[in-house]
Chain A
């Protein structure tokens, strides 16, 4: 694979054609391609395969961090604020548990967002070259990086799978 080679951007009208395009590329041993769709679709996910999203690890770590922070901000300062209130013990597990519970959710949610943005590489201020605005509405797309000499062959291949528009993107 030539890293400086052109990109091929193909646009599809139908999801079954797109899936055929993905399978055709995989059949050719291609792995460096991106698929674009207006909604997530299980046929596309199944055709692409791949690992599960690591966002769940961010959620877990954030939640555990929040749990620790919740207990930390309630128990930690007890030495400096040793004032009995309402006859409750200084180290009051049930009320401090409420704070720990809330912090678990708060930090779990924030870490999920961090995980989402980190893994999707968002924000992206420049859209993918060749991005077709019809894709957010009702079209689908595949962007493949290929060597210059492979372009024509891949374009013909994707055309046979139902691509309605094929463009060469140089960058």
Chain B
């Protein structure tokens, strides 16, 4: 029996790792295809709803005046938030040498890339006139348009596209040695496809030298993005003068919330992944427990941010600010407010108990609770502030419609659809980094 550096007992060799972890890429069973079909149909339904909205007009969505930002921006912020845990796990935990990340970071990176691919749809859906979306890009055109770089919306476009570029690059580059492993194990047309994707990787000393250097620099460049991207998303709100939005704590508050929901999503995806493919000895309870402890920490940070937000409104003694926070607690959307406090802060605190955080059903329930809570948090921030700002004569409510609800449901289906395809066509657990955690084959060990 050999023992890895994190103290977990493994009876594993390098070749066992390849055999076990490539199980995820074996031909799919009926359940997989059934689930994929359901998700595909939901994606199509969401796409159809978007098409109807383009054909008919943005009025099909429930947003209105004064609630001009509603479900779409809520869901956009939610998916950008989901994307954050991937880079946290892959880049930050890499730089601080947290060894348990090796088995889980690939799936977390996939969550980042697919989360961004889902989030990236919403500004286009929200725009209404999606065919003029390129006006936001710094491309000179015949209308003489140029983005207003003083606007946080322009920063947001740059931040999200940069995050997408850097995280996809990190994801794909991190996979090169694993794609070479797959290339060397498969035959026929697959060998050609994975050979192309591996780009000729052979594990030479020169390749490893430059690769490990590049990996460190990519991690170092991705790390500030974890903090900055959601900070910039928060400034979409905080730079305005809407009560409940104009706050200096928004950046750290949004970043903490993003990591909170992202970690919960990673746990939700890892649980069926390890179970379905029998890779429990790689993605162990130790991994899930470590992530659960992280969720306790982020729940405390998010809870503290909620308290500070209310304290600042009360202590600042600004009547509109006080009014909006009171409205959140007792107004038409109070149900969402109290539900988010419960699901985001109180429910995850149950993970203090080792018995609960090592129970798979409890973990699933708590992580779903966090997902609901974090979506509602953005809904409450966005909708209540717009619904109830300065002038009572301008107050109004938002009610979701079938169109925006179908698009939001379709976005969830799109995310899970992409993830399910990923686990079948690409190595979902990093084989080379798991091997790095194992003792190398030495003659003295035989």
A residues engaging B (CB < 8 A)? 13-17, 34-41, 44-45, 48, 50, 52-53, 55-56, 59, 63, 73-74, 77, 80-81, 85-86, 88, 92, 95-96, 98-99, 101-103, 105-106, 108-110, 112-113, 115-117, 119-128, 131, 133-138, 162
Q: A73-B138, A99-B158, A122-B200 are in contact. Are A14 and B441 (CB under 8 A)?
A: yes
Q: Are A36 and B155 in contact (CB under 8 A)?
A: no
Q: A59-B221, A102-B155, A138-B441 are in contact. Are A52 and B213 (CB under 8 A)?
A: yes
B46 within 8 A of A: no
A48-B225 Cα distance, complex, nearest whole Å: 35
B442 within 8 A of A: yes
Q: A38-B14, A124-B200 are in contact. Are A136 and B180 (CB under 8 A)?
A: yes
Q: Are A85 and B151 in contact (CB under 8 A)?
A: yes
Q: Are A109 and B222 in contact (CB under 8 A)?
A: yes
Q: Min CB distance, B69 to chain A, in Å?
A: 18
**Nearest A residue to B176 by beta-carbon distance?**
A122
Query: Which chain B residues border A55 with CB–CB below 8 Å?
Result: 210, 213-214, 217
Q: Which of B221, B442, B444 contacts A112 (CB 8 A)?
A: B221
B373 within 8 A of A: no
Q: A105-B162, A109-B169, A122-B207 are in contact. Are A14 and B14 (CB under 8 A)?
A: no
A34-B208 Cα distance, complex, nearest whole Å: 11
Q: Min CB distance, A135 to chain B, in Å?
A: 6
Q: Are B150 and A120 in contact (CB under 8 A)?
A: no
A125-B200 Cα distance, complex, nearest whole Å: 6
B199 within 8 A of A: yes
Contact bitstring B166-188, A, C-beta under 8 A = 1, else 0: 10011001000100110111000
B443 within 8 A of A: yes
A16-B200 Cα distance, complex, nearest whole Å: 26
Contact bitstring B197-212, A, C-beta under 8 A = 1, else 0: 0011111111111111
Q: Are B443 and A16 in contact (CB under 8 A)?
A: yes
A101-B436 Cα distance, complex, nearest whole Å: 34
**Nearest A residue to B16 by beta-carbon distance?**
A138
Query: Which chain B residues border A92 with CB–CB below 8 Å?
Result: 150
Q: Are B232 and A98 in contact (CB under 8 A)?
A: yes
Please name 9 further chain A to chain B contacts, defined as beta carbons within 8 Å, in addition to the given A109-B170, A125-B200, sorted by A numbering: A16-B443, A38-B435, A39-B432, A99-B154, A105-B224, A109-B222, A133-B185, A134-B184, A136-B203
Query: Which chain B residues border A96 with CB–CB below 8 Å?
Result: 149-150
A5-B13 Cα distance, complex, nearest whole Å: 37
Q: Are A37 and B150 in contact (CB under 8 A)?
A: no
Could you write out 26 A-B pairs with CB less than 8 Å apart? A15-B441, A37-B205, A38-B203, A38-B435, A39-B440, A41-B440, A50-B209, A53-B214, A59-B221, A85-B148, A95-B149, A95-B150, A95-B155, A98-B155, A99-B158, A103-B158, A105-B224, A106-B165, A112-B218, A116-B210, A116-B214, A122-B200, A122-B201, A127-B200, A131-B202, A137-B15
A85-B154 Cα distance, complex, nearest whole Å: 13
Q: Are A14 and B443 in contact (CB under 8 A)?
A: yes
A-B interface contact total, Cβ < 8 Å = 182
Q: Are A59 and B206 in contact (CB under 8 A)?
A: no
Q: A15-B440, A109-B218, A112-B218 are in contact. Are A102 and B173 (CB under 8 A)?
A: no
B228 within 8 A of A: yes
**Nearest A residue to B18 by beta-carbon distance?**
A137
Q: Are B181 and A137 in contact (CB under 8 A)?
A: yes
B83 within 8 A of A: no
Q: A36-B203, A37-B203, A122-B199 are in contact. Are A102 and B158 (CB under 8 A)?
A: yes
CB interface residues, B 302-326, toward A, < 8 Å: none
Q: Are A56 and B213 in contact (CB under 8 A)?
A: yes
A88-B208 Cα distance, complex, nearest whole Å: 49
B124 within 8 A of A: no
Give chain B's interface residue range (CB within 8 Å of chain A): 35 or more
Q: Min CB distance, B219 to chain A, in Å?
A: 10
A48-B207 Cα distance, complex, nearest whole Å: 13
Query: Which chain A residues border B170 with CB–CB below 8 Å?
Result: 109
B159 within 8 A of A: yes
Query: Which chain B residues border A137 with CB–CB below 8 Å?
Result: 14-15, 18, 181, 184-185
Closest 6 CB pairs of A and B: A124-B200, A138-B14, A53-B213, A133-B184, A116-B214, A123-B199
Query: Which chain A residues border B442 with CB–CB below 8 Å?
Result: 14-16
Q: Which of A38, A41, A102, A127 contacts B228 (CB 8 A)?
A: A102
B146 within 8 A of A: yes
Q: Min CB distance, B96 to chain A, in Å?
A: 19
Query: Which chain A residues border B152 with CB–CB below 8 Å?
Result: 95
**Nearest B residue to A128 by beta-carbon distance?**
B202
Contact bitstring B222-235, A, C-beta under 8 A = 1, else 0: 10110010001000
Query: Which chain B residues border A85 with CB–CB below 8 Å?
Result: 148, 150-151
Q: Min CB distance, B147 to chain A, in Å?
A: 9
**Nearest B residue to A33 by beta-carbon distance?**
B205
Q: Are B211 and A116 in contact (CB under 8 A)?
A: yes
A22-B443 Cα distance, complex, nearest whole Å: 16
Q: Are B200 and A123 in contact (CB under 8 A)?
A: yes
Query: Which chain A residues border B154 with CB–CB below 8 Å?
Result: 99
A125-B14 Cα distance, complex, nearest whole Å: 26
Q: Which of B151, B181, B184, B207 contacts A120 (CB 8 A)?
A: B207
Query: Which chain B residues border A59 with CB–CB below 8 Å?
Result: 217, 221
Query: Which chain A residues border B221 with CB–CB below 8 Å?
Result: 59, 63, 105, 108-109, 112
A99-B151 Cα distance, complex, nearest whole Å: 10
Query: Which chain A residues border B218 with CB–CB below 8 Å?
Result: 109, 112-113
A73-B157 Cα distance, complex, nearest whole Å: 14
A85-B151 Cα distance, complex, nearest whole Å: 9
A112-B49 Cα distance, complex, nearest whole Å: 41
